[in-house]
Structure 1
Amino acid sequence: MSEHDRGGVYSVPGKAFTRDERYITDRITADGSGEGEWPVAAGRYRLVAARACPWANRTIIVRRLLGLEDAISLGTPGPVHDADSWTFDLDPGGADPVLGIPRIKDAYLARFGDYQRGITVPAIVDIASGEVVTNDFAQITLDFSTQWGAHHREGAPDLYPEHLRGELDELMRYIYTEVNNGVYRCGFAGSQQAYDEAFARLFSALDRLEDRLTGQRYLVGDTITEADVRLFTTLVRFDPVYHGHFKCNRAKLIEFAALWGYARDLFQTPGFGDTVDFAQIKAHYYEVHRDLNPSGIVPAGPELLGWLTEHGREALGGRPFGDGTAPPPVRAGEVAPTSI
């Protein structure tokens, strides 16, 4: 698998992990009038998001919480991509049923004939032209909240409240650098020193978040926000993948009282756990990362039933959806193939 298809420089002997952050920064905005902007239009775009990928999982969660299913369709590549790209091997005939392509790379090449950056998910594709619009995962979900409001479901929560954006932006940057990307710095460290430094940074951040969440139900304010979505997708992969595969093994998630309760609380909230496929998550990391796991053997554990146990976080107060409501059940055709 090429460096570009993994979305970053992972293992460089003697060096720390550095992620390739050169994304396509075009945006889909309400009027599409600015440079590099495309207009919001229901039915025009398709979100391509593999359930195995934490960055893509974010977009599936936010799309579901906001009720954008009718406005933006969803394509889900399989968890084990080939040397070229994420592939639609789970779909009949091995091609996305809307885009008609066997791999997401084709959408990148349709727009950029010699694309030299990461072939990553999530990606949003313009259906008519078959061209990729953006793969800027951090901006995609913010734009779902701020630009697609005309297509939000009735009762959609405010995941990016304007009066909290300063605090949210600062915290989300911290979560990205220290936790979301921190596990990768451990897993793909190119030297013992790089690993030791990454390990210390990661668990320092987890300890800090443990303290923060001991006395409050959610990260910012008393409702679920974008920050919770971003932390959740790393936490839900921690014990099945990052603890062993990425050597993040000072402690398991289940050994953090607050973080484990918080993660279960979110998992049991409609829109979170119902987007997660643990089998795909494990298949992706253990089968694709042959530099870390040459045999490709996928471990049988860990036990997952704990995700469904009582968490007691309601005692901290908070209203998951604020003045809004929970999303309806997952639509037919979008149910995660495997679940607990």
Structure 2
Amino acid sequence: MPMWSQPPPPPSSLQLRRPPPPLPHRPRRLRSRLSPIAASQDPLTALSRLLWGRALPPSQLVLAVRHGWTAAWGLLMRQLAPSDPATGAFTRTPSRFPAVVGTPSARLHLYVGLPCPWAHRALLVRALLGLERRLPLSVAVPGDDGAWSFTPDSPDALYGKRKLREVYASARRGGFEGRASVPLLWDAERREVVCNESIEIAKFLCDLAAADGSAGGLDLWPPELRQDIDRWYSFIYPSVNNGVYRCGFAQSQEAYDDAAGELFAALDRLEDHLSGSRYLCGDTLTLADVCLFTTLVRFDLVYHSLFRCTRRKLVEYASLHAYTRDIYQMPGVAGTCDMAAIADGYFGALFPLNPGGILPLVPASCSPEALLEPHGREALSSSAAADAGGGGNGRQLEATSASN
């Protein structure tokens, strides 16, 4: 008989061992569903897969979370951006110190935040009029709680405070309540607020530069154009400057539709006017242009996407985009436009509008290279138009008069 057909030998004593005790019974399906919890670094995701696999959560849970988030969003928005309860339209809180009262001391200090277009007005006027030595500066940044704060890299150069509201509260008169906003023009000698309304600060700085003789011949607030400047500002502010915020902070579809319609109607009108006039008031750069520029330079970067101003990008308006490049290329202006700080200040700090805090890529039209491209707007000056046999300011005056 072949050896492989022989019966196996009996086991030796060394081979006789007690069998191991049986494992407790665990359903195979349960073990396979629990394994992601042990392996996953995201317990919430693992738990959700345990409960309903890879499908969407149950509709009841989706509805509950949606209603809860909507309620929380409404609460946050009412604090961030107060609205009309009847319409959901954004209503801007008036400045607590809206005008310069009396004559401030010679020791002034300016507080700004780089993302803020209102603070950018004051910063831009300071740069254009050569007031850097005359007017010291502190730059606040958005804190995790949304309040303007100071950091070791961006300190309060005057008092070393941690929060801007601490500067407001340190006024000798005390008793400050409300929002600690930028820009803030501060009297360091008297330890009090001079003003925190951007357009009034800008006008005050124009007068300050004229008195000091530091403007180098540039007058952004000339007496002969003040009526025109005010007319343009009365058109720009509600429809464009505040118009983008009325779109972004709208809390009803109707409020958004109204704001967006008014915004783009105003941009269309400005595009038409600036196709025949270098600046809003003709050949002269004025405060009206400063106020429009600080909104336009942020438009494609933040307002188009985050604030849902999506009908058209600024780069699609040939005259408005060239006008923005014209101002950007003036001496000192580019240094006041920190695109990274602007993006971080909006996408990072406005939590109710961007809960994930994800920063998008900077659009190509907002890069320094794009903004430094030739604008060709010198040809729109009245002297160039006269050389070409065209008119001077007739179109500008007609359009301005119609802007009331």
State the TM-score, normalizing by the size of structure 1: 0.83
CA contact (8 A) 1:49 1:121 kept: yes
Aligned position for 2:218: 157
Q: Give the 4+ runs in structure 1 shifted more than 4 A.
A: 1-6, 10-14
Aligned position for 1:232: 293
State the TM-score, normalizing by the size of structure 2: 0.71
Distance 1:40 1:165 in 2: 26
Q: Secondary structure at the match of 1:77?
A: strand
Alpha-carbon spacing, 1:241–1:154, altered in 2? closer, same or farther (3 Å):
closer
Aligned position for 2:157: 97
Alpha-carbon spacing, 1:212–1:118, altered in 2? closer, same or farther (3 Å):
same
Aligned position for 1:70: 133
Distance 1:230 1:14 in 2: 28
Percent pairwise identity: 42
**Cα deviation 1:152-173 (Å, max 9, x = unaligned):** 4151401011111111101112
Which structure 1 residue ranges, 5 or more long, are not aligned?
28-35, 320-340
- Alignment equivalent of 2:378, drawn from 305, 314, 321: 314
Aligned position for 2:169: 109
CA contact (8 A) 2:105 2:187 kept: no
Distance 1:108 1:118 in 2: 9
Q: How far is 1:263 from its partner?
A: 0.5
CA contact (8 A) 2:95 2:196 kept: no
- Alignment equivalent of 2:104, drawn from 39, 52, 55: 39
**Cα deviation 1:181-240 (Å, max 9, x = unaligned):** 000000000100100010000000000000000001111021111111000000000000
CA contact (8 A) 1:47 1:75 kept: yes
Alpha-carbon spacing, 1:259–1:61, altered in 2? closer, same or farther (3 Å):
same
Q: How far is 1:116 from its partner?
A: 2.7
Aligned position for 1:288: 349
Q: Is 1:133 aligned with 2:194?
A: yes
**Two-structure CA RMSD over aligned residues (Å):** 2.3
CA contact (8 A) 2:129 2:209 kept: no
Distance 1:226 1:245 in 2: 27
CA contact (8 A) 1:68 1:152 kept: no
Aligned position for 1:22: 95
Distance 1:48 1:63 in 2: 12
The structure showing larger relative contact order (alpha-carbon pairs under 8 Å, at least 6 residues apart) is: 1
Residue 115 of structure 2 aligns with an amino acid whose one-letter code is: A
Which structure 2 residue ranges, 5 or more long, are not aligned?
1-74, 384-404
- May I ask how many residue pairs the two structures share in their alignment? 305
Distance 2:214 2:331 in 1: 14
Residue 222 of structure 1 aligns with an amino acid whose one-letter code is: D
CA contact (8 A) 1:108 1:132 kept: yes
Q: How far is 1:318 from its partner?
A: 6.0
Alpha-carbon spacing, 1:133–1:54, altered in 2? closer, same or farther (3 Å):
same
Aligned position for 1:328: none
Residue 148 of structure 2 aligns with an amino acid whose one-letter code is: W
Distance 2:204 2:96 in 1: 16
Distance 1:74 1:151 in 2: 18
Distance 1:136 1:148 in 2: 18
Distance 2:249 2:370 in 1: 29
CA contact (8 A) 2:123 2:336 kept: yes
Aligned position for 1:338: none
Q: Is 1:81 aligned with 2:143?
A: yes
Q: Secondary structure at the match of 2:103?
A: strand
CA contact (8 A) 1:210 1:258 kept: yes
Report the structure, 1 or 2, having the larger helix content.
2
Distance 1:264 1:226 in 2: 17
The higher radius of gyration belongs to 2
